[in-house]
Structure 1
């Protein structure tokens, strides 16, 4: 009896193993047919402003970070500078850069890179995490990054490290509301947090009326001290003029005085930077008589090489003890649209008087600056982040994928595999219009005039399968340019989604015998999508289309346009 039971059990286990192996093999085959392999990617930026303004040996370009890298904050330890930016629902969260001279920057990736601790999986692209602050505390040799996270109920959080290159600790939730926090450490080691908040209940005077609050911070418990909060700015520089959106505060100390610098006017046409002074970190703070200290709002819209929306700044003492300020700004295209998003600029700062002033920050900004004495411009070389016009190529053969490639609402590693043939994307059952993690590897649009070309090896099995390129402003505003199936035929199509409503611009039946080359080119507001079946001769699909839906000021939100290598297993774009 026992032998019979053992025989029966062995047979059952064998059948289960055989069936499981067969299912596993079939699953692998199914996945193999549906995956898309991308290779030979090329991004070429060719903005006229850089062609018209070549660099001399002692010059560098501003912005220093092109594309969607807004809300910069900066700190230093010795000769090492670290700068962070907003990332919203992009993943990993809070990109961080390192420099020795404020000119040449190295991309260190994202600080919030553990999806178990920061998970923007169900947030709109302009939510997630934004407006970080970063501060080095010499009293305990520790870096602090503080930020507002709109996902997972996190709210305002802080993370710490001894070495930003080696990674950061887990988020610590802070017990206060509002947004745009930053942390300051006084000469005696005492900590303070300042942030934007709503006025006290019942005291809001108009739409956009905000306040700046300060809290004392306990370094031993990493918490704000209850009852220490105080409003130190109400409304802005002059409450009688109804200033809007006082935000992005930073505290500094110089010559025994405390300075509070904030953005004012909202992150748009009226954006500016203003500054206040006090004898104590908790005020009262008096505004400078020459505010704003940085803005571009006073100048004609048709000015050459227009830079606008400047503000949301942070100050640092740079090489040779010269002060500099990093801040966000935009470079609109020929239709005054903001497809590259809010970028990180830099200007020298004159702090010879009582108050700092951004040098040439109150006249129309120019595209290039004099380098700090003794610095050599290595941007785009030796691993340093490029700016100006440049070409970025990617074959996905290096062991470490470039940090410029990002995920949306989740880690890129969840859907990519680097192979000898290129980057393999296993599609999620999610399309680009859903507020979920998508199987799309994104690159920021960094120029108003650019081309982005990729080779894709892909054969869809059904109309639910699609792979190709997506140009995305948000989940409700995007272009999809990809390969799919209709009946027994393979098609390439171009779909435009505006305000959540999708329309097929054009489609064409194609026969895929080898890999296909896909390309998107933009010249200002004019975007063109093309494909090459033989890898060389490109055919346009759909003519020239408007990039309006890829602009911040048309589609809304806070991000710049992203270009993605996209695959989905629930395609809803069907050829006509």
Structure 2
């Protein structure tokens, strides 16, 4: 779906009143819930094998998998970064670092389902493109975001300490998307955001503007009548630039700099910069725009990184500027199954305008670490990157933040036990626009394997539990155990939207009769575009189900939307996948 279409759809949905979370999200204590244990996810991408780290290096992206639209802020030696989450729950993942290399996952900013409930939205709706800013004048952090659910619109939440949670959403009285907030040296606040041109002034498809509002810091609202267009179209309106968005204002040496994405979040994506004597403009574009892009290089280049843009800047260790931004790493079929990821580059701001170092040549997988920093990624609780293995036996009191829900909180359907993780199935199918009883994590590698042990004895054909590989509600694979008559089966179902239709076509690719007296081990693995599903009754020898299938429907460029592939542990009480 094109972004213009998505915004129109979300605007229509916002007209309907918010009715709270779907009643089916109440935990249903099934008498025989599926129990998952011995979970293992292992990534094995060739780029990391070919590019081992030296002691003074770290990998970019710093957040692999679907963590797009990063924004970053700093208080003292503490850095906080947020990303888009769409209909994933909790909303707006947030990370903390002391050095921009080692990051700790803090969960999600919007974690109260009574205040943020994307319970009936498509996966690419919910919330996206957050901004985060620390205001030293009142020692407060602000997270601002567009919420396409519950009629919220543009909202802001605040906290004195991101480690301790956030306040309730405050609705803001303006439209558009991609807001960010800026506080000047005198304490005044301003909000900038993407919006449509004034009525009747749209010149072409993709024509957008950047607006600014004065912000009432005392009362947390924009001041009516202060809105002003500060960028019309982009750097050069005569060239019909598309999708000027994701604005951020910075102040340096008494001047104001406005940085935006331009070109749309695809192959023409870029980052551009403007300068002014006032936060309200006029803003003059830099002569050397864009300052970051990957759009000019050979499509078949090795270790291709593309779609770079949607950036934010921060002064890092040793007073060196850095920029975080989104980009993709497509597989050999140019599929985008890992989604848009968060990358980082040093930024040279020794001249008049900032420039991303090596951001105008093909991006490399490694960077030099800031002086004095030790790489501890994947250790001591820090988020991993590169090739890594993530294991979970589900016996810890606190579930890892990498595990997320879809359209609702994971706590509504899970229980941890001595045997593993129980999923209490909703009467909701993975294809419905409702919360699903599925515990997800993001696919973070092109080449990976995932396995889990499942103890389950379905009571009827309406019961199914297993694994889901999902790009959206209309594009996914279901691999699970169900019942037909007196027999039990493991099956692979492919769900894909019919051409030129809103309906989903479901196909059983294969099914095998099995014995469920003992736990079954399920596996999904991928090598680029090739995915395979299998099961084992002895824990080591796997039986393939369905052969090798294309992962094309798990790619953003095929399925549409803004998310990457999610891998989930799934249970349902309304199964419609029937064994052959």
TM-score (norm: length of structure 2): 0.94
Match of 2:521 among 517, 523, 529: 517
Determine which of 283, 287, 290 is the counterpart of 2:288.
290
Name the residue aligned to 1:566.
Answer: 570
The answer to whether the aligner puts 1:503 opposite 2:503 as a matched pair is no
Instruction: Determine the C-alpha separation between the residues in 1 that align with 2:161 and 2:319.
Output: 23
Once the two structures are superposed, the pairs formed by residues 74-89 of structure 1 within 5 Å of their partners are 74-89=72-87
- CA-atom RMSD, angstroms? 0.9
Give, in angstroms, the shift of residue 77 of structure 1: 0.2
- Taking the TM superposition and a 5 Å limit, the aligned residue runs for 1:440-451 are 440-451=438-449
- Name the structure 1 match of 2:95: 97
What whole-Å deviation, never above 9, does each CA across 1:399-430 have from its counterpart, x for those lacking one?
Answer: 11000000000000000000000000000000
SS at match of 1:269: coil
Report matched runs for 1:48-127 at 5 Å: 48-127=46-125
Deviation readout 1:303-322 (Å, 9 max, x if unpaired): 01000000000000000000
Residue 29 of structure 1, CA deviation: 11
Distance 1:570 1:533 in 2: 26
Distance 2:65 2:84 in 1: 12
Query: Does structure 1 retain, via aligned residues, the 8 Å contact 2:28–2:424?
Result: no
Where 1:31 maps in the other structure, the secondary structure is: coil
TM-score by length of 1: 0.95
Is 2:144 aligned against 1:149?
Answer: no
Q: Match for residue 386 of structure 2?
A: 388
CA drift of 1:109 comes to 0.3
Instruction: Tell me the CA shift for residue 498 of structure 1.
Output: 1.2
Q: Supply the distance in 2 between the matched residues of 1:252 and 1:65 (Cα, whole angstroms).
A: 24
**Does residue 492 of structure 2 align to residue 494 of structure 1?**
yes
Matches within 5 A, 1:364-513: 364-499=362-497, 500-513=504-517
Residue of structure 1 equivalent to 2:546 = 542
Partner Cα separation in structure 2 for residue 236 and residue 570 of structure 1: 49
How many residues are aligned here? 548
- Structure 2 unpaired stretches of 5+: 1-26, 498-503
Q: Does 1:46 align with 2:44?
A: yes
Q: Decide which of 332, 336, 339 is 2:337's aligned counterpart.
A: 339
Name the stretch that deviates more: 150-159 or 508-517: 508-517
Q: Can you give the 5+ residue segments of structure 1 that lack an aligned partner in the other structure?
A: 1-27
Residue aligning to 1:527: 531
How big is the shift at 1:347?
0.2
541, 546, 559: which one pairs with 1:555?
559
Q: Work out which of the two has the higher radius of gyration on C-alpha atoms and give 1 or 2.
A: 1
- The whole-number CA distance in structure 1 between the counterparts of 2:571 and 2:29 is 15
Shift of 1:536: 1.6
Q: Which residue of 1 aligns with 2:356?
A: 358
2:278 equivalent in structure 1: 280
Q: Residues 491 and 134 of structure 1: is their aligned pair in 2 closer, same or farther, counting only changes over 3 Å?
A: same
SS of aligned partner of 1:354: coil
The alpha-carbon deviation at position 30 of structure 1 amounts to 7.9
Matched residue SS, 1:165: helix
Q: Deviations over 1:173-208 (max 9, x none)?
A: 000000000000000000000000000000000000
Distance 1:267-1:30 versus aligned 2 partners, 3 A rule:
closer
Partner of residue 230, structure 1: 228
Instruction: Give the Å deviation of 1:387.
Output: 0.1
Deviations 1:126-158 (A, max 9, x none): 000000000000000000000000000000000
Q: Give 1:163's match in structure 2, choosing from 143, 161, 164.
A: 161
